[in-house]
Structure 1
Amino acid sequence: MSHLDLSFSDYLSACPECAAAKDLLLADGFALHGADPHRYSTINVLHDVAAFGGAKEAFQADEQRIGGGAQALALAIAKTMAKEIRLDWRVQRIQQTFEGFEIAGPNGTLLTKALIITLPVNVLSSLDIDAQIGSAARRAIQERHPGAAAKGWASVSCPEPIHSSGWPNAVEVYSRQGASTSAIATFAVADPCHDSALEKSWQAVRSRHPNLQWHNEFLSHDWLNDPLAQGTWLSAAPKQHEGWHQLADNPPPVIFAGGDVSRRWYGWMEGAVTSGRDSAQRIQAYLAQAPVAPAAG
């Protein structure tokens, strides 16, 4: 597979048979990986094609949405452990002790025998972690993944639902109908920054869909400059896959979980669910002094 571990742009440039469909493939690749095609590996695309069961299924997958949004799922889980949740409790250091681990931050210290870290991997480099972590995983943490998508919403009036794509601006555009107005969303590579990418994309949307009536209500969030995210969903750069796989398979008592390190669905909501379930089983086995299986979530 090493011959495929190069940027998606370089891979397409080396395939003359892809020239006619290059922009379409770049747009479809971005819809999956949310990163500059010069920075993410072709293996990512093949990984998703295999996960979905085919290229058509990966690029044109039907969506299934959670009623009330993804936050509703988090709130439902929180109900079972409300007394144990500490909000606005930032962690600065994880220190190994004779009794287990000390988790320290501005609000105090917690002690635990084992822990599951579910932070976005791009913030891990700002955390002092005294634990056994493989060299490839530590290298990937320092390099960070290249996921860098800009997403914006706007309020519009449109006679019928919209779905279109293009490259490199307004890569994906879709609308959701409301009772009186509609919401329209656009995605783009956040290059050179979040705001400029969205400005170019909204211009492209106006040109592509001239019949829209705009209400001048816009909403977006810059995840790249958010200190609690420092990027969007994971997309591995060339030579990074070993590091992220090593991090996912880190042995107890410190386990890493979440969509970023899912073995099958990295970068996807499905991966957050399967990784969370798998990590819980692995940490329970460790605490019960039973054999711990390799990560599979």
Structure 2
Amino acid sequence: MTERKLYDVIVIGGGFAGLIATRDLKEKGKSVLLLEARDRLGGRAYFQTFPGTDKQVELGGTWVMPQYMKEVGREIERYGWQLAGSEVGPLKFLWHFGGEDEDAFPISPDERYAFERALFQIGLDARRIDTSRPRDKQNLADLDISVADYLKRMDLPQRVYDLISAYARIGSGAAVEDWSALMALSLVAAYDNSPYAWFASVTTRFRDGTAEPVATLAAGAETVRLNSVVTSIEQTAHDIAVTLASGERYAAGAAVLAVPVTLWSTITFSPPLNVAKRDAAERGHAGRMGKVWIMVDNLEEDISSFGGDTDLLFLQTEYRLPGRSILVGFTSPPNLIDVADHQAVVRAVHQHVPSANVIATFAHDWSADPFARGAWVASPVGQLSRHATGLRSPEGRLSFAGSDLAMRWIGWIDGAIETGHQAADEAATHCKQQ
């Protein structure tokens, strides 16, 4: 085993949070070692070429809306990254609820008052949440129930319940019984308290993919080590030591752990983490969204198809190639399918468009990825109202970052950037205490 003390700070995890922390620390004059378990940087953002084409697609994180997301907006302004919207349209909208296939909005005139009432209540409850403060400091326990229980107490018509539940699932990748309404309402609050924005604002992405900001941020990193799996983090009064699966050991004045919460249980901490973090590590979270890209050759119209009963919760045309279309599909519990199973995806596409001729599919299974163990975070019931402060608080010389821990945009690129800034500030302070 070798030990080297060459750096002021060790950053563990090369997603957006880790890259931002590394950049900020370098600008503060600190020497930084960035360790990444994968053979690439970017974390749960992954921009790749659809096989057999020259079209690149996002296999993971995608959407950025600067009008709501101030952290990512500042980075876009700083670096001049360009955004892009849809490349297709107009879209034909399709709806699949209650065993019915429709091309009209699935809420009948008699149900629209109940739908409006539900959206009003969601917006009202979102206004109780201060997205700049931990949720356990705001008396919000009554909202930290399952999304299912939250909607049931509104006594909604079944079709209205089903539609809002499906929208909740597309925002979480989780069954409505398995994740917290407080997290859902926190995201509505981040959308300036607009339930409509939850439905309609996810429209812009990086023109040149997430690969561009990842490359830009990585270019300024001092030392990056890929294929470096961290197995233990040990602190003393004066420094912090990080051990890799290879047996290599590095020491520094401080460290930033910028990996998904689902990976905390794979690392041995000395001293142990606090109760809030141990609980989160043991419970994990409910986010299991599957994302799959689908090429078809006979789609006459560009579509946006949504269905609470279908195996693909959402299916939409994203790109046009000569004679072909590329669509993106999302699958979520309780109707989760294996995005790597081509035939399962074909069957799911046919639930939306029976005549579609599927040529190829392309996906990355984030739940099977050993360095993700799930998609973006979907907080379990009771966690945010009891443990939000403890989840992101430093542990001695160890700070924590990642979109799972964000105050405002939980689970989004903007949230990763937010936590990267904070962790860098904390780590720089710890370095001064050596």
What residue in structure 1 maps to residue 260 of structure 2?
120
Residue identity matched to 2:252: T
SS at match of 2:250: strand
Q: Which of 336, 354, 357 is residue 213 of structure 1 equivalent to?
A: 357
Q: Partners of 1:277 and 1:173 in 2: how far apart?
A: 35
> Following the alignment from structure 1 to structure 2, what is the Cα–Cα distance between the partners of residues 72 and 190?
32
| Residue from 392, 409, 412 that aligns with 1:248 | 392
Q: In structure 2, do the counterparts of structure 1 residues 265 and 257 end up closer, same or farther at CA, with 3 Å as the change threshold? A: same
CA distance in 1, matches of 2:278, 2:210: 30
Distance 1:200 1:13, change over 3 A: farther
Alignment-derived partner of residue 328 in structure 2: 185
- Does residue 1:276 correspond to 2:420, yes or no? yes
Instruction: Name the residue aligned to 2:188.
Output: 49
Q: Residues 109 and 277 from structure 1, CA distance in 2 versus in 1: closer, same or farther, beyond 3 angstroms?
A: same
Q: Which runs of 5+ in 1 are unaligned?
A: 290-297
Mapped to 2, the partners of 1:285 and 1:100 lie a distance apart of 13
Hey, what's the Cα distance between the residues in 2 that align with 1:168 and 1:118? 36
Structure with greater contact order relative to length (CA < 8 Å, sep ≥ 6): 2
Whether contact under 8 Å (2:291, 2:339) holds in the other structure is no
Question: 1:166 aligns to what?
Answer: 307
Measure how far apart 1:137 and its partner are: 2.2
CA drift at 1:265: 0.8
Q: CA deviation at 1:131?
A: 4.1
Q: Does the 8 A contact of 1:247 with 1:261 survive in 2?
A: yes
Compute the displacement of 1:102 (Å): 1.0
- Supply the distance in 2 between the matched residues of 1:142 and 1:264 (Cα, whole angstroms): 24
Tell me how far apart the structure 1 counterparts of residues 266 and 388 of structure 2 sit (CA, whole Å): 17
Q: In structure 2, do the counterparts of structure 1 residues 287 and 3 end up closer, same or farther at CA, with 3 Å as the change threshold?
A: same
Report the equivalent of 1:262.
406
Q: Kindly tell me: are residues 56 and 200 of structure 1, through their superposed partners in 2, closer, same or farther at Cα, counting changes over 3 Å? A: farther
Look up the SS of the partner of 1:177 in the other structure. Answer: strand
Q: Which residue of 2 aligns with 1:292?
A: none
Displacement, 1:125? 0.7
Aligned partners of 1:254 and 1:18: how far apart in 2? 49
Corresponding position of 1:101: 240
Structure 1 residues 150-173: Cα deviation after superposition (integer angstroms, max 9, x where no partner): 121111132332212111422111
Distance in 2 separating the partners of 1:207 and 1:267:
29
Q: Deviations over 1:178-212 (max 9, x none)?
A: 33222111111255764289766643431322343
- Report whether the alignment pairs 1:62 with 2:202: yes
Bigger radius of gyration, 1 or 2?
2
Report the equivalent of 2:146.
Answer: 7
Q: How many angstroms apart in 2 are the aligned matches of 1:145 and 1:228?
A: 15
Structure 2 gap ranges (5+): 1-139
1:39 aligned partner, one-letter code: D
Question: Is the 8 Å Cα contact of residues 134 and 250 (structure 1) preserved in structure 2?
Answer: no
The equivalent residue for 1:227 is 370
Question: 1:153, 1:2 → 2: CA distance?
Answer: 39
